[in-house]
Amino acid sequence: MRETLLLDVPHRQVVFTIPEMLRIFFRYDRKLLGEVCRCGLSSWTRYFEVVAGGALPPGVIASIQTFGDRINFHPHFLVTEGGVGKAEVFHKIPRIDDLRLAELFAREVLAMLVGQELLSPEWAERILSWLHSGFNVHSRVRARTKVEAERVGNT
């Protein structure tokens, strides 16, 4: 991973949390775990586009951590704190807003579940209207160097 994937730029560990009431779908249909990772990637990429004002593809390594008896399927990403623009220059994103990222992620996951016909559009809208939907993002674990990113990626 260090030799082929990690750049010597700042990284973040980003954990996307899915509401408990939706985790049952992922327990019995494991292919949905790949879909939820794609939802996280799409959310992260869209966030970068909005903040940067245009396409700014980040570097991303994704994994699912499954542990505990509460069906905790949480996508974990090791992501660059920016992306490489058209001039092949790395542009750092100044700030990461976990609440906004969680909103994007919630919309992506709910749209995917509606598309898979596992959830009705009405239920998806209802969940989005809740003050505490259960979707969460945590991006405070930071790695400033390639060596630190490797250490974070191994945890």
Annotate 94-141 with DSSP letters as a single string: S---HHHHHHHHHHHHHHHHHHTTSS-HHHHHHHHHSSS-S-EEEEEE
Return d(Cα 47, Cα 101) in angstroms, integer: 7
7-50 pLDDT, tens per residue?
Answer: 778 888 888 989 989 988 988 888 898 899 899 999 999 998 89
Say which residue, 39 or 147, is predicted with more confidence: 39
Q: State residue 5's pLDDT score.
A: 60
Given a contact cutoff of 8 angstroms between Cβ atoms, the answer to whether 12 and 144 are in contact is no
Domain with 88, as residue range(s), is 11-153
Is 123 inside any structural domain? Answer: yes
Q: Let me know if residue 101 belongs to a domain.
A: yes
Residue 120 lies in a domain: yes
The C-alpha R_g of the chain, in whole angstroms, comes to 16
- The answer to pTM > 0.75 is yes
Whole-number Å distance between alpha carbons of 142 and 19 = 25
Residue 6, domain member (yes or no)? no
Per-residue pLDDT of 77-117, as tens digits, reads 888 888 887 777 888 887 889 999 999 999 999 999 999 99
- Residue 90 belongs to a domain: yes
- Report residue 113 as tokens: 């579940």
User: Where residue 101 sits, what CATH number does that domain have?
Assistant: 3.30.70
Residue 148 located in a structural domain = yes
Residue 68 sits at φ, ψ, to 5 deg, of: 80, 170
**Is 82 part of any domain?**
yes
SS (H, E, C) 9-58: CCEEEEEEECCHHHHHHHHHCCHHHHHHHHHHHHHHHHHHHHHHCCCCCE
| 5 belongs to a structural domain | no
- Report the number of distinct structural domains present in the chain: 1
